[in-house]
Amino acid sequence: MPQETRTFQAEVSRLLDIVAHSLYSEKEIFLRELISNASDACDRLRYDAIIEPNLIEGDADYRVVLTPIKSSKTLTIADNGIGMNHDELVENLGTIARSGTAAFMKELSGDERKDMSLIGQFGVGFYSAFMVADKVEVLSRKAGEAEGWRWVSDGKGEFTIEAEPNLKRGTRITLHIREGDEDYLETHRLRQIVKTYSDHIALPIVLADGNKEDTINTASALWTRPRSEITEEQ
């Protein structure tokens, strides 16, 4: 299948405009949103695999992996969850019809801070990636399907989609970090953001730094500890 170029739905373009021109003080929420989406994708596969165990493909070790690479100025957020096929990529990343578009647009106030806080609420958190990235690439293969896909956009009105062979199950989002936001490639910064917003996520969030991999959230470790050692708060 040749590469297709498509236009974002008008509401998405408006949303991306808000995001891209936001001098939002809490830009770091982009990571919370992408980790949350990755965790949901793993939960969906876990649930679907109860009925269709073959969907797991021998890989039931659900995780989210963050890989910052300074030389290419990229940050990748990868999961081995349910994944998306061609139509789901177009629908989920090209329109916000499924996420309460009308309600979302109605709530937009023009107050930057308030508008940004709506993003997670309406399930459009993926677009917060464009607060820190001038290009976003998504590689995805849906569990149970053979064909994988590559979705690419600079957030300026269009995206491309094409078949991508030999992909692992799940979704891999690569952010090409924009100039001035390189601190999101620093491991200590990523650790701090995960600690602040995503520590409760119940599957391992792994930071891959060179040849080293480190689980950086505590909730994933709680499952393996005796109940007597876990505090009420935890």
Highest mean pLDDT among 8-12, 41-45, 229-233: 41-45
pLDDT at res. 1: 73
pLDDT at res. 150: 97
Quick check: 19 pLDDT over 80?
Answer: no
pLDDT at res. 133: 94
pLDDT digit string (tens) for 192-234?
999 999 998 989 999 999 889 999 998 765 555 556 656 666 5
| Domain spanning 4-219: CATH superfamily | Histidine kinase-like ATPase, C-terminal domain (3.30.565.10)
pLDDT at res. 105: 62
pLDDT digit string (tens) for 28-41?
889 999 999 999 99
Report residue 3's pLDDT band, with 50, 70 and 90 as the boundaries: very high
Cα gap 25→28, rounded to integer Å = 8
Domain boundaries, the chain: 4-219
**3-state DSSP percent of the chain in helix, strand and coil, to 5:** 40, 25, 35
Longest dimension (CA), the chain: 57
pLDDT digit string (tens) for 58-108?
899 999 999 999 999 999 999 999 999 999 998 888 876 554 555 666 676
CB 35 within 8 A of CB 194: yes
Distances (CA, A) of 23 to 20, 70, 233: 8, 23, 34
pLDDT at res. 228: 62
pLDDT at res. 103: 65
DSSP string across 29-59: HHHHHHHHHHHHHHHHHHHHHHH-GGGGTT-
Report residue 165's pLDDT band, with 50, 70 and 90 as the boundaries: very high
Cα gap 103→168, rounded to integer Å = 36
pLDDT digit string (tens) for 107-157?
766 666 666 666 655 556 788 898 899 999 999 999 999 999 999 999 888
Report the DSSP pairing between strands 205-209 and 64-69.
parallel
Quick check: 20 pLDDT over 80?
Answer: no
pLDDT at res. 223: 55
pLDDT digit string (tens) for 185-194?
999 999 999 9
